[in-house]
Every structure is written in C-alpha cells, then in structure tokens.
Amino acid sequence: MLSQTTLSGDAVLDVSRITTVVENTMDGTSGALYAIFLNSLVHSLRQQSSAGTADAKVWAAALKQSTKSLSKYTPAQPGDRTLVDALYPFVETLSSSGDLKQAAEAARKGAEGTKGMRASLGRTVYIGGSGFEQVPDPGAWGLSEFFLGLAGVKSTEPDYEMV
C-alpha cells in the first residue's frame, strides 16, 4: 500500500507507484479513468522532466497532456456532473497560475458547482432518483478533497453524506 511507501522525490517514480496502487485497488469506471489519467501523467512527466524533477510548469504541462489523453476514453466534459468538473479547473488554474493552492481551490469550486446539476454521464444517470440537488458529484468532490490535501489546505466545507 502507498501509506507504507516512502516517496523518493522523483516525480516519475512516485506517480508510477501511485498508479500501481490505483490499478490494483480501484474498481469501476472511476478506477479505470484514474488509471488511464495517471499512466498518461507518468508518460508525460517522463518526457518533460529531467531526472524525475518537476516544477509547477512541468506538472501543469504534464497534467494538460494527461487530460487530453483521458478525453480519448471518455466524453466527459465540465458540466456533465463527473470528476472532470473538479479535474479541469485544477489543471487550468495550475497551468495559468502555477499555484497549487489556487488550483485546489478551483477544483473545490468546480465540485461545488455540481450540486443540483443533472448528470449526463456516470452512475447517477442510470441510478436516477433525487438527492443530487443537495450534494456535489461524489467523484468531483473526492478529487477536490485529494487536491486540497495535496496543497496542504484543510477542508472547511461541510462533509456531505453520500448515499
């Protein structure tokens, strides 16, 4: 497990380790999408970084390339009530600002924006029902929590009970 692994400081190696954990433990469509995205991220980092070092500019370029790669496997776009509602704002803000905290906050704002949004893709479409009016998309919310943690920002928003 990742929690028992010491990170090396080499971006390519460390993201590769995270990718292996995701591939071995995450099920469902989200797990597959994360694996596609992370494998592309490893490839992009390998191409753009020297000796595994990556500054904000390298990360932003690699994330943008990974987002393009992901779009080959899913039609999801912001506004579809999926995890990309948090992912795209994160990548765009990091690319334009180079500021991880700002990017994480943009991801949170994107996730919050999914409250009340009718899903056009994902599990919510075929499960149906109500409740989406009060809570953000679980995938977008989870990803925004990850980005906030990555940026060292303590979440101040209320926890939503996902049903």
Confidence of residue 57 (pLDDT cuts 50, 70, 90): confident
Share of the chain above pLDDT 70, in %: 83
Its domain, for residue 94, covers: 75-152
Task: Give burial (CB, 10 Å; 0-12/13-18/19+) of 3.
Answer: exposed
Domain count, the chain: 2
Residues 148 and 105 in one domain: yes
Burial 86-113 (b: 16+ CB within 10 A, else e): bbbbbbbbbbeeeebeebbbbbbebbbb
The encoded tokens of residue 6 equal 């010491």
| pLDDT for res 156 | 65
Q: How far apart are CA 131 and CA 163, in angstroms?
A: 8
With beta carbons less than 8 A apart as the criterion, state whether 154 and 122 touch. no
Confidence of residue 11 (pLDDT cuts 50, 70, 90): confident
Burial 63-78 (b: 16+ CB within 10 A, else e): bebbbebbeeebebeb
Confidence of residue 163 (pLDDT cuts 50, 70, 90): very low
- pTM listed for this prediction: 0.82
71-122: per-residue pLDDT in tens? Answer: 999 999 999 998 999 999 999 999 999 999 999 999 999 999 998 888 777 6
With beta carbons less than 8 A apart as the criterion, state whether 86 and 117 touch. no
Q: How far apart are CA 4 and CA 29, in angstroms?
A: 26
Q: Average pLDDT for residues 11-23, to the nearest whole number? A: 89
| pLDDT for res 139 | 85
Residue 61: inside a domain: no
Residues 133 and 95 in one domain: yes
Q: How far apart are CA 2 and CA 42, in angstroms?
A: 16
| pLDDT for res 50 | 73
Residue 65: inside a domain: no
Lowest mean pLDDT among 50-54, 57-61, 129-133: 129-133
Residues 142 and 96 in one domain: yes
Residue 2 has pLDDT above 60, yes or no: no
Residues 43 and 83 in one domain: no
Residues 26 and 94 in one domain: no
113-150: per-residue pLDDT in tens? Answer: 998 888 777 666 666 666 667 788 888 898 899 889 88
Residue 158: inside a domain: no
Residues 86 and 147 in one domain: yes
Residues 88 and 131 in one domain: yes
Residue 63: inside a domain: no
